[in-house]
Amino acid sequence: MEYNTFKMYEIIMEDGEHVYKHYGIYENEENARDSAAGNGEVVRVKEVTELFPLSGDKIFTALKNAGFGQFERTQFIASL
């Protein structure tokens, strides 16, 4: 089975008046850069996955807070 490996990217953009910082999850830097297209000049795209560690416990708690049931949370975590 092949898994997609997504990473967290920080994207810095400017539109001539303001500078914007956006964080998003993408497959690669090219996809991150493409997502910012049309929102001004992309100044920098940087992979920052290590700054935002995720654990099964954090995901489990987030799903619980979102109203998912025990079965759904367990199945979701098991699929990771």
Q: Is the model's pTM score more than 0.85?
A: no
What tokens does 34 get? 């493409």
Region 36-61 average pLDDT: 87
- 59 and 32 within one domain: no
Reported as a pLDDT band with limits 50, 70 and 90, residue 78 is: confident
Three-state DSSP at 43 gives strand
What domain range is 78 assigned to? 54-80
Instruction: Tell me, yes or no, whether 33 and 8 share the same domain.
Output: yes
Same-domain check for residues 62 and 41: no
Which of 21-52 are b and which e, b meaning 16 or more Cβ less than 10 Å from the residue's Cβ?
Answer: eeeeebeeeeebeebbeeebebeebeeeeeee
With the CA atoms of 22, 25, 29 and 35 taken in that order, what torsion angle do they form, in degrees rounded to the nearest 10? Answer: -60
Whether residue 59 sits in one domain with residue 29: no
Give the pLDDT score at 57.
81
Same domain? 62 vs 40:
no
Asked if the model's pLDDT at residue 1 lies above 60, the reply is: no
